[in-house]
């Protein structure tokens, strides 16, 4: 296991180098830069613009700028945000927890609902529950996430059951007790979690059902039934462990999918997370924030895949990770 983890970790630096360079190349290929946008203000002189471009390090070539950024990044310095004028790590740290809260809630919803419902649907093929699960899967995979998010916003605005957007009550937040703050954040979290988790829940549910149907028809399951084991033992002790393996391999990708999916969800619901910060940084061409966000997303993908491999080896000892 140690050798496997070490081998994976050794592959991280080249991956981050490639991803960061491609991101920097795309940012450089975009028309203009952050200072160019400031040039639209007639009150800012050309001398001031030239001074700002030099201060932000935008007056060098692509290789010079990337080399300077890489050297600082290796030392743990990702620079300062052009638009916010604060350290990138400070800015990202304020938003990262909010994104992890939303993504974690969506992940719990997706896996917590998909696994048991997929198993039951696979065991009871053709039943009413199986048809309901199939409909939920079809709905979740078919509806565009942005459209679903807008529908949820309209639902919240019409019924007044949930907040339309944001993460907390901006009026009474300071007067809330700690428990009231938890309840308030959870109340704001419901609709974004449903929107973000539905697509993945639908995909995992369909995958789990298909794997259970296939596994229940295998010889070792028939042998277990012939030994007189109960249906519960056959399903959960013998079939489930084998059927869930393909889903565990998808766990790492689910982290990246949640991160990219949260971009649109955070924008629609005005959720103050990392994804929304990245979108704003891209539009304002805030280079340091974009670079740091992409690097962090890549690290999350690598960590997710590593966790998926470790879990897969733990669930199925026949699969070696050494």
Check residue 317 and give its pLDDT.
57
Tell me the per-residue pLDDT of 141-182, one tens digit each, with 9 for 90 and over. Answer: 788 888 888 888 888 888 888 888 788 887 788 788 888 888
- In total, the chain counts a number of residues equal to 322
Closest CA to 33 of 248, 281, 304: 281
Q: Mean pLDDT in each 10-residue stretch from start to end of the chain (322 residues)?
A: 72 86 84 74 75 76 84 84 82 82 86 84 80 84 83 87 82 83 88 86 83 78 74 74 72 65 79 80 84 82 73 59 50
Check residue 88 and give its pLDDT.
86
Q: How far apart are CA 239 and CA 122, in angstroms?
A: 11
Check residue 257 and give its pLDDT.
66
Q: How far apart are CA 287 and CA 154, in angstroms?
A: 35
**Which CATH number is 119's domain given?**
1.10.3720.10
| Residue 45 domain flag | no
Check residue 59 and give its pLDDT.
76
Check residue 210 and give its pLDDT.
81
**pTM listed for this prediction:** 0.74
Place of tokens 């697509």: 199
The percentage of the chain sitting over the pLDDT mark of 70, rounded to a whole number, equals 89
Q: Which domain holds residue 129?
A: 88-315
The burial of 225, by beta-carbon neighbours within 10 Å (0-12 exposed, 13-18 middle, 19 or more buried), is given as: middle
| Residue 29 domain flag | no
Q: How far apart are CA 218 and CA 10, in angstroms?
A: 39
Place of tokens 């203009």: 32
- Quote the DSSP letter at residue 163: -
End-to-end CA gap in the chain: 5
Check residue 113 and give its pLDDT.
86
- Quote the DSSP letter at residue 236: I
Check residue 12 and give its pLDDT.
82
| Residue 240 domain flag | yes
Number of domains in the chain: 1
């Amino acid at each position: 296991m140690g050798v496997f983890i070490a081998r994976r970790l050794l592959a991280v630096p080249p991956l981050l180098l490639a991803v960061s360079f491609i991101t920097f190349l795309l940012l450089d290929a975009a028309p203009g830069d952050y200072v160019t946008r400031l040039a639209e203000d007639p009150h800012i002189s050309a001398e001031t613009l030239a001074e700002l471009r030099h201060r932000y390090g935008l007056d060098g070539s692509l290789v010079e700028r990337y080399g300077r950024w890489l050297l600082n990044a290796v030392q743990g310095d990702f620079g300062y945000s052009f638009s916010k004028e604060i350290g990138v790590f400070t800015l990202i740290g304020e938003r990262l927890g909010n994104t992890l809260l939303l993504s974690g809630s969506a992940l719990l919803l997706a896996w917590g609902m998909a696994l048991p419902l997929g198993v039951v649907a696979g065991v009871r093929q053709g039943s009413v529950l199986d048809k309901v699960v199939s409909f939920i899967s079809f709905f979740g995979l078919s509806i565009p996430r942005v459209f679903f998010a807008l529908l949820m916003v309209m639902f919240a605005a019409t019924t007044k059951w949930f907040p339309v957007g944001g993460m907390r009550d901006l009026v009474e937040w300071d007067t809330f007790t700690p428990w009231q703050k938890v309840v308030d954040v959870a109340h704001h979290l419901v609709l974004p979690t449903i929107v973000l988790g539905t697509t993945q829940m639908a995909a995992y549910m369909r995958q789990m059902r298909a794997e259970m149907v296939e596994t229940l028809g295998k010889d070792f399951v028939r042998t277990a039934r012939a030994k007189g084991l109960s249906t519960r033992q056959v399903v959960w002790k013998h079939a489930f462990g084998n059927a869930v393996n393909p889903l565990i391999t998808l766990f790492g990708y689910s982290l990246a999918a949640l991160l990219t999916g949260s971009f649109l969800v955070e924008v629609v619901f005005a959720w103050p997370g990392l994804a929304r910060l990245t979108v704003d940084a891209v539009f304002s061409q805030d280079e340091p924030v974009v670079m740091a966000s992409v690097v962090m997303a890549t690290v999350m993908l690598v960590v997710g895949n590593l966790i998926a491999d470790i879990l897969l080896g733990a669930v199925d000892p026949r699969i070696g990770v050494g």
